[in-house]
């Protein structure tokens, strides 16, 4: 039953309500981004041999991919508040597909690093498709995208300063 277009129950296998469709599309889209974000990891041995990368260079690409996510989450949170999480997420998926497709064209450490940095932005997808910003947006009175991005930045800094 719905009261003013808000879900009063969670029925996971009922795709008739827009709230449950949004919920399921949200987690599915995040999985797509997650695989794009970490898709190169299983092939890293092949990439390492093909590009003659050192362990330090591989570590730098991994750190860069995750570190850029923290910064991009702030901007994604602001965009979620300004233009809405669905539009933000659509653009993130469309723009994020380009570096995922082009990483296969990397022929040096620098081009591989730039592709990993661009792919790292896909990690900010959690901000735009998480339950607090997309699925439950009609249920809260104030914008929360920027707040959630800022919270993640503080958590990441605290985690880093404590030595993991």
What gap in Å lies between CA 141 and CA 56, rounded to an integer? Answer: 47
- Does the CA dihedral 155-75-138-29 come out positive or negative? negative
Q: Is the pLDDT of residue 161 over 60?
A: no
The residue with greater pLDDT, 104 or 125, is 104
Q: What is the pLDDT of residues 106-116, one digit of tens each?
A: 999 999 999 99
Q: Which DSSP letter does residue 42 get?
A: G
Name the residue among 105, 103, 104, 73 with its Cα closest to residue 89.
73
Binned at pLDDT 50, 70 and 90, residue 133 comes out as very low
How many Å apart are CA 119 and CA 102, to the nearest integer? 10
Q: What is the pTM of this model?
A: 0.68
Name the CA radius of gyration of the chain, rounded: 18
Cβ neighbourhood burial of 94 (10 Å; 0-12, 13-18, 19+): exposed
């Amino acid at each position: 039953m719905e009261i003013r277009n808000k879900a009063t129950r969670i029925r996971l296998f009922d795709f008739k309500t827009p709230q449950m469709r949004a919920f399921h599309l949200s987690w599915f889209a995040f999985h797509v981004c997650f695989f794009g974000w970490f898709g190169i990891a299983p092939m890293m041995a092949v990439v390492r041999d093909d590009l003659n990368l050192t362990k330090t260079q591989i570590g730098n690409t991994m750190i860069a991919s995750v570190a850029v996510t923290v910064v991009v989450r702030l901007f994604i949170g602001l965009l979620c508040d300004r233009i809405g999480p669905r539009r933000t997420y659509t653009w993130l998926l469309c723009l994020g597909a380009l570096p995922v497709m082009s990483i296969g064209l990397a022929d040096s450490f620098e081009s591989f690093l730039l592709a990993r940095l661009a792919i790292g932005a896909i990690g900010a997808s959690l901000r735009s498709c998480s339950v607090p910003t997309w699925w439950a947006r009609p249920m809260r009175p104030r914008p929360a995208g920027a707040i959630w991005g800022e919270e993640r930045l503080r958590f990441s800094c605290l985690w880093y300063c404590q030595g993991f």
